[in-house]
Amino acid sequence: MKEMPGFTEAILFQKLKECLEEPALSLVSVFASRSPSAYREAMKFLTESYEDPIKLANSYLLKATDPNQDEATMTNTILKSSQALQVLKGDLINQKIDLYEFALMHAFLGAMSPKMKADWEGHKYKCKQDYLHELERNNKSEEYMEAWTAGRVENLSSFSSWLKLYKVRIPNSKAEDSP
Protein backbone atom coordinates (compact mmCIF):
# COMPACT_ATOMS: atom_id res chain seq x y z
CA MET A 1 0.00 0.00 0.00
CA LYS A 2 2.91 2.35 0.72
CA GLU A 3 3.95 2.17 -2.96
CA MET A 4 0.54 3.36 -4.15
CA PRO A 5 0.35 6.94 -5.48
CA GLY A 6 -1.27 9.27 -2.96
CA PHE A 7 -0.55 6.94 -0.02
CA THR A 8 -0.50 8.66 3.36
CA GLU A 9 -0.35 7.52 6.96
CA ALA A 10 -3.84 9.04 7.36
CA ILE A 11 -5.21 6.69 4.68
CA LEU A 12 -3.53 3.72 6.33
CA PHE A 13 -5.01 4.75 9.68
CA GLN A 14 -8.47 5.05 8.11
CA LYS A 15 -8.13 1.56 6.57
CA LEU A 16 -7.14 0.21 9.99
CA LYS A 17 -10.28 1.72 11.56
CA GLU A 18 -12.43 0.16 8.82
CA CYS A 19 -11.09 -3.29 9.77
CA LEU A 20 -11.77 -3.01 13.49
CA GLU A 21 -14.84 -3.77 15.59
CA GLU A 22 -15.74 -2.54 19.05
CA PRO A 23 -14.12 -2.20 21.55
CA ALA A 24 -10.85 -1.95 19.59
CA LEU A 25 -12.39 0.63 17.25
CA SER A 26 -13.18 2.97 20.14
CA LEU A 27 -9.71 2.48 21.56
CA VAL A 28 -7.92 3.58 18.37
CA SER A 29 -10.41 6.33 17.54
CA VAL A 30 -8.78 8.52 20.18
CA PHE A 31 -5.74 8.85 17.91
CA ALA A 32 -6.10 11.80 15.55
CA SER A 33 -6.36 10.46 11.99
CA ARG A 34 -4.52 13.49 10.61
CA SER A 35 -1.53 12.92 12.89
CA PRO A 36 1.44 11.57 10.93
CA SER A 37 2.07 8.94 13.58
CA ALA A 38 -1.56 7.94 14.24
CA TYR A 39 -1.26 4.57 12.51
CA ARG A 40 1.96 3.63 14.32
CA GLU A 41 0.59 4.81 17.68
CA ALA A 42 -2.67 2.92 17.17
CA MET A 43 -0.88 -0.29 16.16
CA LYS A 44 1.44 -0.04 19.17
CA PHE A 45 -1.55 0.50 21.46
CA LEU A 46 -3.48 -2.41 19.93
CA THR A 47 -0.47 -4.70 20.23
CA GLU A 48 0.03 -3.76 23.88
CA SER A 49 -3.67 -4.11 24.63
CA TYR A 50 -4.48 -7.29 22.76
CA GLU A 51 -1.33 -9.35 23.04
CA ASP A 52 -1.83 -9.39 26.78
CA PRO A 53 -4.41 -12.13 27.49
CA ILE A 54 -5.55 -10.35 30.66
CA LYS A 55 -6.31 -7.10 28.85
CA LEU A 56 -7.93 -9.04 26.06
CA ALA A 57 -10.12 -11.00 28.48
CA ASN A 58 -11.10 -7.75 30.23
CA SER A 59 -12.03 -6.26 26.88
CA TYR A 60 -14.31 -9.20 26.07
CA LEU A 61 -15.91 -9.03 29.51
CA LEU A 62 -16.54 -5.29 29.14
CA LYS A 63 -18.08 -5.78 25.73
CA ALA A 64 -20.32 -8.61 26.93
CA THR A 65 -21.56 -6.71 29.97
CA ASP A 66 -22.25 -3.38 28.25
CA PRO A 67 -25.85 -2.54 29.25
CA ASN A 68 -26.25 -0.11 26.34
CA GLN A 69 -27.04 -2.87 23.85
CA ASP A 70 -30.36 -4.13 22.62
CA GLU A 71 -31.25 -7.72 23.47
CA ALA A 72 -30.26 -9.22 20.11
CA THR A 73 -26.90 -7.41 20.06
CA MET A 74 -26.18 -8.34 23.66
CA THR A 75 -26.99 -11.99 23.00
CA ASN A 76 -24.64 -12.04 20.01
CA THR A 77 -21.94 -10.15 21.93
CA ILE A 78 -22.13 -12.52 24.90
CA LEU A 79 -21.89 -15.55 22.60
CA LYS A 80 -18.83 -14.16 20.77
CA SER A 81 -17.21 -13.03 24.01
CA SER A 82 -17.85 -16.40 25.68
CA GLN A 83 -16.20 -18.21 22.79
CA ALA A 84 -13.20 -15.86 22.88
CA LEU A 85 -12.88 -16.19 26.66
CA GLN A 86 -12.96 -19.97 26.34
CA VAL A 87 -9.95 -19.71 24.01
CA LEU A 88 -8.16 -17.39 26.47
CA LYS A 89 -8.89 -19.64 29.46
CA GLY A 90 -5.67 -21.61 28.99
CA ASP A 91 -3.57 -18.43 28.83
CA LEU A 92 -5.10 -17.16 32.07
CA ILE A 93 -4.52 -20.50 33.79
CA ASN A 94 -0.90 -20.52 32.56
CA GLN A 95 -0.50 -17.11 34.20
CA LYS A 96 -1.77 -18.71 37.44
CA ILE A 97 -4.89 -16.57 37.49
CA ASP A 98 -7.85 -17.98 39.39
CA LEU A 99 -10.76 -17.58 36.97
CA TYR A 100 -13.31 -17.04 39.74
CA GLU A 101 -11.24 -14.27 41.32
CA PHE A 102 -10.60 -12.76 37.89
CA ALA A 103 -14.35 -12.58 37.21
CA LEU A 104 -15.07 -11.04 40.63
CA MET A 105 -12.34 -8.46 40.20
CA HIS A 106 -13.69 -7.59 36.77
CA ALA A 107 -17.14 -6.99 38.28
CA PHE A 108 -15.61 -4.68 40.89
CA LEU A 109 -13.48 -2.87 38.31
CA GLY A 110 -16.56 -2.33 36.17
CA ALA A 111 -18.08 -0.24 38.95
CA MET A 112 -14.96 1.88 39.48
CA SER A 113 -14.18 5.30 38.11
CA PRO A 114 -11.65 5.58 35.28
CA LYS A 115 -9.22 7.14 37.78
CA MET A 116 -9.44 4.12 40.09
CA LYS A 117 -9.04 1.70 37.17
CA ALA A 118 -5.97 3.59 35.97
CA ASP A 119 -4.52 3.46 39.48
CA TRP A 120 -5.06 -0.32 39.59
CA GLU A 121 -3.33 -0.70 36.21
CA GLY A 122 -0.47 1.44 37.53
CA HIS A 123 -0.24 -0.73 40.64
CA LYS A 124 -0.01 -3.90 38.54
CA TYR A 125 2.68 -2.32 36.36
CA LYS A 126 4.67 -1.26 39.44
CA CYS A 127 4.41 -4.77 40.91
CA LYS A 128 5.88 -6.25 37.73
CA GLN A 129 8.65 -3.63 37.63
CA ASP A 130 9.49 -4.34 41.29
CA TYR A 131 9.66 -8.05 40.45
CA LEU A 132 11.99 -7.39 37.50
CA HIS A 133 14.31 -5.28 39.66
CA GLU A 134 14.38 -7.99 42.32
CA LEU A 135 15.02 -10.62 39.65
CA GLU A 136 17.96 -8.58 38.36
CA ARG A 137 19.43 -8.33 41.87
CA ASN A 138 18.92 -12.06 42.44
CA ASN A 139 20.51 -12.93 39.10
CA LYS A 140 23.65 -11.08 40.18
CA SER A 141 23.74 -13.04 43.41
CA GLU A 142 22.75 -16.22 41.54
CA GLU A 143 19.70 -16.75 43.74
CA TYR A 144 16.76 -18.61 42.19
CA MET A 145 13.53 -16.72 41.78
CA GLU A 146 10.24 -18.11 40.50
CA ALA A 147 9.17 -16.77 37.09
CA TRP A 148 6.73 -13.87 36.91
CA THR A 149 3.10 -14.73 36.38
CA ALA A 150 0.23 -12.27 36.27
CA GLY A 151 -1.41 -14.33 39.02
CA ARG A 152 1.04 -12.72 41.47
CA VAL A 153 -1.03 -9.54 41.29
CA GLU A 154 -4.28 -10.54 39.53
CA ASN A 155 -5.85 -12.00 42.66
CA LEU A 156 -8.28 -10.86 45.34
CA SER A 157 -5.61 -10.64 48.04
CA SER A 158 -3.47 -8.25 46.01
CA PHE A 159 -6.57 -6.37 44.85
CA SER A 160 -7.76 -5.91 48.45
CA SER A 161 -4.33 -4.69 49.55
CA TRP A 162 -4.30 -2.17 46.72
CA LEU A 163 -7.83 -0.99 47.65
CA LYS A 164 -6.75 -0.39 51.25
CA LEU A 165 -3.80 1.69 50.06
CA TYR A 166 -6.02 3.55 47.59
CA LYS A 167 -8.56 4.32 50.31
CA VAL A 168 -5.88 5.88 52.52
CA ARG A 169 -4.85 8.20 49.67
CA ILE A 170 -8.38 9.55 49.13
CA PRO A 171 -8.44 13.13 50.48
CA ASN A 172 -10.81 13.56 53.42
CA SER A 173 -11.82 9.92 53.21
CA LYS A 174 -14.67 9.22 55.57
CA ALA A 175 -15.38 5.81 54.13
CA GLU A 176 -16.11 3.38 56.90
CA ASP A 177 -14.85 -0.14 56.95
CA SER A 178 -17.57 -2.48 55.85
CA PRO A 179 -18.00 -6.01 57.12
Asked whether residue 138 is domain-assigned, the answer is yes
> Is residue 156 over pLDDT 60?
yes
Among 39, 63, 94, the domain boundary falls at 94
| pLDDT tens figures, 19-63 | 777 777 777 777 766 566 777 787 777 766 666 777 778 777 877
Q: Three-state SS string across the chain, please?
A: CCCCCCCCHHHHHHHHHHHCCCCHHHHHHCCCCCCCCHHHHHHHHHHHHHCCHHHHHHHHHHHHCCCCCCHHHHHHHHHHHHHHHHHHHHHHHHCCCCHHHHHHHHHHHHCCCHHHHHHHHHHHHHHHHHHHHHHHHHHHCCCCCCCCCHHHCCCHHHHHHHHHHHHHHCCCCCCCCCC
Q: What is the pLDDT of residue 33?
A: 62
Residue scoring higher pLDDT (122 or 34): 122
In a domain, 47, yes or no: yes
The answer to whether residues 48 and 76 belong to one domain is yes
Do residues 61 and 138 share a domain? no
Residues 121 and 44 both lie in one domain: no
Indicate whether 63 belongs to any domain. Answer: yes
Average pLDDT over residues 145-151: 88
The pTM score is 0.62
Tell me if 74 is assigned to some domain: yes
27 is in which domain, residue-wise? 9-94
